[in-house]
């Protein structure tokens, strides 16, 4: 067993995380991994249970790489202002190899993700949200944070008065480096935004960094379309529905 946590108050939770997780009926996401909300000493927390890796990845994550749970925790500590507050992580082993692993954070009681305004043409205050996203993304970039899964479902938004508070999740895949302009513009490609929406976001971003608006928009649209082409090509091979 391997664990780390921000406060020893949560040690009992982590050591008994399997029971807490299995007892919770509040599942909020089920795919390759599962995410549940749990109550611990009247605190509203989120637990991400990572899929047990195959035998090759068990060896890799045991001896050569950090597990996804540990990377999520360590990355959260690094970018703590941009994520729901991290609580800790824990890994369990069988026959000396990693098996189950969990990452725990505070629950961020968000109102919607960026997916909703990107999809809904009539979403309230849509342009203001896109401009706020540009400002938030710049704050990430100025801290040398490159979120490799900067996709709609991973950008959470809460409205407070006339302001929008953003948090990112699913942060085990990140790079920390000085970002060139192309890196910055490429980071918007996974939003899968319509061209008109992406123009609003990138125009605001380019104003904030005092860069040529038309050139930034042209580059961002190119990266966005390239990403869509690659993803749709993979879907064609699998016989899945193509999305514009």
* CATH at 86: 3.30.200
Q: Which domain holds residue 39?
A: 2-106
pLDDT at residue 235, as a whole number: 74
Mean pLDDT of the chain: 94
Q: Please report whether residue 244 resides in a domain.
A: no
Q: For 33-42, 81-90, 124-133, 227-236, which range has the lowest pLDDT when averaged over its residues?
A: 227-236
Q: What is the dihedral of CA 170, 51, 15, 153, to 10 degrees?
A: 20
Determine contact, residues 198/188, Cβ cutoff 8 Å. Answer: yes
In a domain, 150, yes or no: yes
pLDDT for residue 241 is more than 70: no
Write the pLDDT tens digit of every residue in 128-173: 999 999 999 999 999 999 999 999 999 999 999 989 999 999 999 9
Specify the pLDDT at position 232.
Answer: 83
What's the pLDDT tens digit per position in 31-43? 889 999 999 999 9
Q: Is residue 242 part of a domain?
A: no
On the question of pLDDT at 75 being above 60, the answer is yes
Show which of 76, 91, 106 is a domain's final residue.
Answer: 106
């Amino acid at each position: 067993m391997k664990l780390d946590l921000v406060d020893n108050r949560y040690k009992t939770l982590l050591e008994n995380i399997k029971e807490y997780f299995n007892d919770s009926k509040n599942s909020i996401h089920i795919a390759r991994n599962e995410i549940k909300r749990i109550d611990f000493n009247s605190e509203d927390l989120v637990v991400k249970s990572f899929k047990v890796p195959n035998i090759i990845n068990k060896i890799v994550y045991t001896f050569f790489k950090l597990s996804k749970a540990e990377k999520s925790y360590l990355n959260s500590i690094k970018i703590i202002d941009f994520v729901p507050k991290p609580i800790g992580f824990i890994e369990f082993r069988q026959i000396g190899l990693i098996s189950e692993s969990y990452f725990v954070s505070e629950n961020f009681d968000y109102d919607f993700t960026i997916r909703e305004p990107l999809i809904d043409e009539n979403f309230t205050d849509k342009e203001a949200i896109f401009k706020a996203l540009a400002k938030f993304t710049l704050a990430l970039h100025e801290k040398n944070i490159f979120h490799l899964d900067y996709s709609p479902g991973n950008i959470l938004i809460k409205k407070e008065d006339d302001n929008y508070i953003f948090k990112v999740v699913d942060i085990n895949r990140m790079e920390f480096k000085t970002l060139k302009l192309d890196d910055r513009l490429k980071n918007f490609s996974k939003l899968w935004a319509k061209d008109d929406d992406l123009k609003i976001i990138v125009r605001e971003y380019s104003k904030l960094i005092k860069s040529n608006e038309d050139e930034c928009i042209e580059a961002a649209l190119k990266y966005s379309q390239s990403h869509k082409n690659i993803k749709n090509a993979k879907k064609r091979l699998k016989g899945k529905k193509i999305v514009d």
